C-alpha cells in the first residue's frame, strides 16, 4: 500500500519506549486522591482507579511536586535523600511529553495533554500559526481559553475546601498557573525555609496544599543530574521535607511526587535540523523540546519518511495520526487541540537531542539535563507518602 507515492510501513513501538500513563497510578490521579483523603469525593476522568493510592482520613494533604526528580535519578542518588528514601515509594508514570507544562496540566486537571492542549514546551498556535512557548505564553489566546477544563483547585474551592498554592512570586499570575492550576489561594515563597513555613501554615488550616519545588530541575538543566549541584539540590529538598513533616500535625498527610525525570544529553549526539537538508525539507516549523518534537509541514507522510531514514534508531518518528492512535496524548484528543499538535511527532532515544538552531534559544541549546521523551529515565517519577515520625 502506498500514499502519495510513498510506501506505508507499519510503525511499531521501539523497545526503549515506555508508553505514557493516563489511568490508575498517574499524575492526574494525585489531586483526586488528596481530595478524597480530605473527605471530598471528586472522581477523576480516568476509567481505572489508582489502586495504590494512600488511604485514610486527613485534616490536610500537602502535595509537593519536586520538578525534575525522576525515579531513576532518586534511586541512583538515594544517599543524598536519606530522609525521603527511608519511606516506601510507588512509581508513577508521566504523560507525553515528559515535561513540566504537560505534567502540571495533567496534575491540575486530571486530564491528558490531548484534552488540555498543553502538550509541550512550545507548540504551533492554531490562530497565529506561529511557534508559541507555553511557559512564557506568547499566544494571544488567553490561557483559560487554551485550556478551558475545570481544575481540581477550582472544584475543591467550590466545595468549600481550603486550597493553597505555595510557589515563587512570579507564579501567582503566570499564564501557566491560569491554565493549569487556577482556583487556589496563592502564597509566595522564595527560599526553602519560606516554602516550608508557608506550607505548614496553610496545612494547619486544612484542605489541600500544593507546594512547587523547582530547584532540582534548574540544577539538572544547567549542570546535569549527575553533578554535585544536582545532588546538593536533592539534599536541600530532603532536609526541607524532614522539617516540613516535623511541622505538620500527625493528622496531615505529606505526599511528594514529581513531573518528570531527566537524561544528561550527549554533546556528540545533537542533531540539528537546520544543518540536515533531509530533515529541514518540507518543514515549516519545529516546536516542542529537544527530546520531544512537534514538527509542522504540509506533507506529514513524506516528512516522517525522511526523518525515519535520517535519524534511524535515535528516535521514534510518528505522524500526528499515528501518535494519536498510539494514545501518546491520551485516549481522547479534543478537536480544538488536534491542530496544536505536530503534523509529525518525534521522541528521541538514548541521550540524543534534536534541535533547530534557527529557532532554538541559546539557553536551551546549552542545557545539559534534558527531558520530554519516552524513556524510563524521563517518564518514571516517585510518589512518597511521608508518614509522621514517632
Record the cell numbers describing residue 124, joined without a space. 504551533
What length does the chain have? Answer: 390
Contact between residue 370 and residue 350 where contact means Cβ atoms under 8 Å apart: no
| Tens digits of pLDDT across the chain (390 residues) | 333 343 444 578 999 999 998 988 899 999 999 999 999 998 877 667 788 999 889 999 999 999 999 999 999 999 999 999 999 999 999 999 999 999 999 999 999 999 999 999 999 999 999 999 998 898 999 999 999 999 999 999 999 999 999 999 999 989 999 999 999 999 999 999 999 999 999 999 999 999 999 999 999 999 999 999 999 999 999 999 999 999 999 999 999 999 999 999 999 999 999 999 999 999 999 999 999 999 999 999 999 999 999 999 999 999 999 999 999 999 999 999 999 999 999 999 999 999 999 888 777 888 999 999 999 999 999 999 999 986
- Give the pLDDT of residue 360: 82
Contact between residue 97 and residue 292 where contact means Cβ atoms under 8 Å apart: yes
The superfamily in CATH containing domain 27-264+376-385 is Alkaline Phosphatase, subunit A (3.40.720.10)
Report domain extents, the chain.
27-264+376-385, 265-369
| Helix orientation angle between 228-247 and 192-204, rounded to the nearest 10 degrees | 30
Measured CA to CA, the distance from residue 156 to residue 242 in angstroms comes to 27
Class level of CATH domain 265-369: alpha beta
Measured CA to CA, the distance from residue 295 to residue 277 in angstroms comes to 15
- Give the pLDDT of residue 42: 87
Contacts of 115 (CB under 8 A, 6+ apart): 109, 149, 330, 332, 333, 334, 337
Contact between residue 220 and residue 68 where contact means Cβ atoms under 8 Å apart: yes
Report whether the peptide linkage leading into residue 97 is cis, meaning its omega lies within 30 degrees of zero: yes
- Give the pLDDT of residue 348: 98
Long-range contacts of 272-280, Cβ-Cβ distance < 8 Å, separation of 24 or more: 272/355, 272/356, 272/357, 273/354, 273/355, 273/356, 273/357, 273/358, 274/356, 274/357, 274/358, 275/357, 276/310, 278/306, 278/307, 278/309, 278/310, 279/306, 279/307, 279/310, 279/311
Look at residue 287 and give its three-state secondary structure. strand
- Give the pLDDT of residue 2: 38
Domains 27-264+376-385 and 265-369 in one fold: no
- Give the pLDDT of residue 9: 44
Measured CA to CA, the distance from residue 121 to residue 299 in angstroms comes to 23
- Give the pLDDT of residue 1: 34
- Give the pLDDT of residue 363: 78
Amino acid at each position: 500500500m502506498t500514499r502519495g507515492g510513498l510506501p506505508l510501513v507499519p510503525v511499531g513501538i521501539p523497545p526503549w519506549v515506555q508508553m505514557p500513563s493516563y489511568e490508575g497510578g498517574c499524575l492526574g490521579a494525585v489531586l483526586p486522591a488528596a481530595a478524597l483523603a480530605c473527605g471530598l469525593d471528586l472522581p477523576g476522568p480516568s476509567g481505572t482507579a489508582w489502586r495504590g493510592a494512600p488511604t485514610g482520613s486527613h485534616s490536610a494533604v500537602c502535595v509537593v511536586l519536586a520538578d525534575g526528580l525522576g525515579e531513576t535519578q532518586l534511586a541512583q542518588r538515594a544517599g543524598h535523600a536519606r530522609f525521603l528514601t527511608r519511606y516506601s515509594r510507588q512509581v508513577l508514570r508521566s504523560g507525553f511529553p515528559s515535561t513540566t507544562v504537560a505534567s502540571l496540566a495533567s496534575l491540575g486537571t486530571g486530564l491528558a495533554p490531548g484534552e488540555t492542549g498543553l502538550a509541550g514546551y512550545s507548540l504551533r498556535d492554531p490562530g497565529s500559526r506561529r511557534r508559541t512557548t507555553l511557559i512564557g505564553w506568547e499566544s494571544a489566546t488567553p490561557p483559560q481559553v487554551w485550556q478551558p477544563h475545570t481544575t481540581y483547585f477550582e472544584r475543591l474551592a467550590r466545595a468549600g475546601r481550603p486550597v493553597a498554592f505555595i510557589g515563587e512570586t512570579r507564579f501567582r499570575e503566570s499564564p501557566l498557573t491560569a491554565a493549569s492550576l487556577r482556583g487556589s489561594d496563592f502564597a509566595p515563597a522564595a527560599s526553602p525555609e519560606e516554602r516550608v513555613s508557608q506550607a505548614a501554615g496553610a496545612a494547619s488550616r486544612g484542605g489541600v496544599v500544593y507546594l512547587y519545588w523547582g530547584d532540582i530541575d534548574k540544577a539538572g538543566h544547567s549542570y546535569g543530574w549527575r553533578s554535585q549541584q544536582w545532588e546538593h539540590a536533592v539534599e536541600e529538598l530532603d532536609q526541607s521535607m524532614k522539617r516540613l513533616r516535623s511541622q505538620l500535625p500527625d493528622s496531615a498527610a505529606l505526599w511528594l511526587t514529581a513531573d518528570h525525570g531527566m537524561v544528561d544529553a550527549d554533546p556528540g549526539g545533537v542533531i540539528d535540523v537546520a544543518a540536515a537538508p533531509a530533515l529541514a525539507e518540507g518543514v515549516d516549523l519545529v516546536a516542542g523540546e529537544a527530546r520531544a518534537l512537534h514538527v509542522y509541514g504540509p506533507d506529514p507522510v513524506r516528512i516522517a519518511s525522511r526523518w525515519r531514514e535520517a535519524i534511524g534508531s535515535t528516535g521514534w518518528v510518528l505522524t500526528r495520526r499515528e501518535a494519536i492512535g498510539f494514545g501518546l496524548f491520551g485516549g481522547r484528543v479534543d478537536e480544538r487541540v488536534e491542530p496544536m499538535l505536530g503534523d509529525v511527532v518525534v521522541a528521541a532515544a538514548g541521550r540524543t537531542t534534536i534541535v533547530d538552531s534557527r529557532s532554538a534559544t541559546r539557553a536551551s541549546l546549552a542545557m545539559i539535563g534534558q527531558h520530554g521523551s519516552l524513556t524510563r529515565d524521563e517518564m518514571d517519577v516517585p510518589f512518597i507518602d511521608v508518614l509522621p515520625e514517632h
